[in-house]
Amino acid sequence: MLVAFLSAGAIAAKATDERPLPNELGSIMFLMYHQIRSPERDYVRSSDNFRRDLENLYNRGYRLAHLNDVVDGHITTEAGRTPVVLTFDDAAYGQINKIISNGREIWDPECAVGIITEFARKHPDMNVAGTFYVNPFSNNMDRKNSVRWAAWMQEMVDLGFEFGNHTTTHPNLKKDTPTQEQVEKEVATLQSWVYRQLPNYKMRSMALPFGIYPEQTEWVTDGTYGGIAYHHDSLMKVGANPSVSPYAKNWNPLHIARVRAQDITADLPVSGYWIELLDKHPEMRFISDGNPNTITIPAKAQAQLKNNLGSKFKIIVR
């Protein structure tokens, strides 16, 4: 493993910067959203509060990151900032929609896509990113404009958004689809639907409905049904806590925890709780060094680093 140690002078120079020192073994939040609409309740975030979420994250030094980049360990977040991943389950109400304004079609300023792109227009360093887990034949998906989704999804990919698998009908993969064939049908049929909207677009991640795994995990990572094959590098749980760093020994991309996007309620482990906790304990938080080819970590955290990273990255210990 190639390891470099920062000199005392380099550390002193960095310590005078307003931004915190890098710690690329800190925690990363994968935030979980469902409906974006009013009134606010469990698994429903109002558009105003979603805007506030983005503002709050931005002001506290978070920047949107692409899920697949984080899974790959290719983190391009600027130095001194923390990557955060937005995920949206079900393609539910308020996530994706367009309206006519002054005779032209625009992203609905009250939907997730419209809110993210508008925020990034005002704050370009926030980036445009987010992964949408679709299941077009469940009761959760907003199908009012489904005939127009092919064009919308292509535009979203061009903007920088990603899509992931969430099955076709949102079943409990252990109880409702107990056999391998049933699970593969649910997953592959959704991949087939996405192919019809986005030819050759292979989704690399999957959000497990209800966070429940099938009898065998490999049934959702690799399979084929009806001539349609799929492969997922990562699986999203429902979870309630931030994820470990993709450079950590205990990182498992097939068991990625997510944090429900919600204000603090009786100290529940939701996003509001974790944002406050990570502010109080910044040593727990992933802080980027700004270079996707290096991994910078505190000396005391060396034992947490995966053993096989030296061939891909330059390891910097501070």
Domains of the chain: 24-289 (3.20.20.370)
CB 270 within 8 Å of CB 12: no
Instruction: State how far the Cα of 79 lies from the Cα of 83, in Å rounded to an integer.
Output: 10
225-235 core/surface letters (b: 16 or more CB in 10 A; e: else) = beebebebebb
- Within 13 Å of residue 12, how many CA atoms lie on the same side as its CB? 3
Per-residue pLDDT, 138: 72
Per-residue pLDDT, 268: 67
The residues, any chain, with a CB within 8 Å of residue 124's CB and separated by 6 or more, are: none
Per-residue pLDDT, 149: 85
Name the average pLDDT for the chain.
91
Cis peptide before 253 (omega within 30 of 0): no
Residues of the chain with pLDDT under 70: 1-17, 140-147, 264-268
Angle of helix 112-122 versus helix 149-159 axis, rounded to 10: 30
Q: pTM for the whole thing?
A: 0.92
